[in-house]
Amino acid sequence: MAPLSVSAPDFEIGRHRARHPAEVLTGCRVTARGDDWATAAMVLPRFATGPDVPLGWLGVAADSAAAQSLGSLFAQGLDVRTVDLRLDAVGPVPSPGTVVTARGDLISSNHRTGLSRIRIHGPDDADIAVGTARFIVVPGSPPSTPSTPTMTGSESTTGGVPLLPSLDEIFGITDAARHENSSVLTAELDPALCNRHGVVHGGLHVSLIDHAMRALVGHSGTHGDPGAPELLDLTLAYQRPLAPRVDGTVLLCATVERRGRRITTVHATLQTSTGRVLTSAQGTFLSAAEDRP
Ligand SMILES: CC(C)(COP(=O)(O)OP(=O)(O)OC[C@H]1O[C@@H](n2cnc3c(N)ncnc32)[C@H](O)[C@@H]1OP(=O)(O)O)[C@@H](O)C(=O)NCCC(=O)NCCSC(=O)Cc1ccccc1
């Protein structure tokens, strides 16, 4: 078994300021920025119970790096909101303790929208995922002191590996109804996860949706669980902001659209208890079962 140690000596979490409570939770930090690119890094945690790190946990790094690649807009006093985000898995998520880096490169932008390319890699440049994120440009608001989140689990470490509660606990999942082809998780998100506008980081939508889909189609594990289906890609459409203080309890609904011999496609929504869809998503999983002709 590989040693559980931080494997990128140039990433020290304390050297970089957290810009968002989601970054505090996940231990993600924006590590470098240019006019049209940015990088964000995180040390993969170990969860108190459950599997190793699912791809969706890297959503905060992906969304942050992609958003910060629009740095020239921020310099004009503008801000951005994620409209859609796609991740395609191209390699395994490394084991806990490994540093992963997401790089966002601006493809195009104007005064209305921006599009960024995402690449997530581990040590030795091994690719984990690629993707894109589309942003809408909105008026910026004056800088203020970010709220201090109460969830600082990622900063407790065991031998260099951040130790976090289970994903169910992190997302306040209080109830789960599972059927063969559909499931509903009830989540009460900690309002401390919101930014100063009261909304949840787009990268955490990726983590929530991934968690909901895996709860339906199989375990979240990628290591030592050969029976788990493998997430190939995930596409999210951000329809309305997630504001836990306003929305209260939210539902994570997942439905299997088609279960093929090898490929299972899943649709999921993040919605309020009154059925107002905040985010919708599509995921593709590859079955771990033997290929058949
Ligand atoms: C803005 C747009 C994407 C599209 O615009 P449009 O087509 O013009 O949308 P429209 O105006 O028609 O509104 C649609 C519905 O939304 C509602 N609503 C709108 N605004 C607010 C509000 N402020 N508060 C409350 N609700 C609001 C509005 O009432 C309406 O509801 P209704 O239909 O009447 O019931 C919108 O769909 C949206 O906000 N999606 C969620 C985006 C999102 O949360 N992304 C992730 C976080 S960003 C991030 O993390 C990136 C980052 C990372 C790191 C660092 C920096 C940045």
- pLDDT digit string (tens) for 45-58? 999 987 789 999 99
The helix/strand count (H/E) of the chain reads as 6, 15
ipTM: 0.96
CA 238–ligand 1 middle distance (angstroms): 7
Q: Would you say residue 31 has pLDDT above 70?
A: yes
Considering only CA atoms, which residue is closest to atom 18 of ligand 1? Answer: 240
Does position 3 have pLDDT exceeding 50, yes or no? Answer: no
Q: If you measure from the C-alpha of residue 239 to the centroid of ligand 1, how many angstroms do you get, rounded to a whole number?
A: 6
Q: Using an 8 Å Cβ cutoff, are 50 and 41 in contact?
A: no
Is residue 63 lining ligand 1, measured as CB closer than 6 Å?
A: yes
Instruction: Give the predicted TM-score (pTM) of the model.
Output: 0.91
How do residues 223-278 score in pLDDT, each as one tens digit? 445 578 999 999 999 999 999 999 999 999 999 999 999 999 999 999 999 999 99
pLDDT digit string (tens) for 122-135? 998 999 999 999 99
Tell which one of 240, 246, 271, 278 to mutate to probe ligand 1, the residue whose CB is within 8 A of the most ligand atoms.
240
Q: Return the beta strands (E) in 122-172 as ranges.
A: 127-139, 157-158, 161-164
Query: If you average pLDDT over residues 153-172, what whole number do you get?
Result: 78
Written in H, E and C, the secondary structure of 201-240 is CHHHHHHHHHHHHHHHHCCCCCCCCCCCCEEEEEEEEECC
Cα 230 to ligand 1 centre (Å): 31
**pLDDT of amino acid 25:** 94
Ligand 1 atom nearest 246 alpha carbon: 25
Nearest C-alpha neighbor of 278 from the set 286, 287, 288, 268:
268
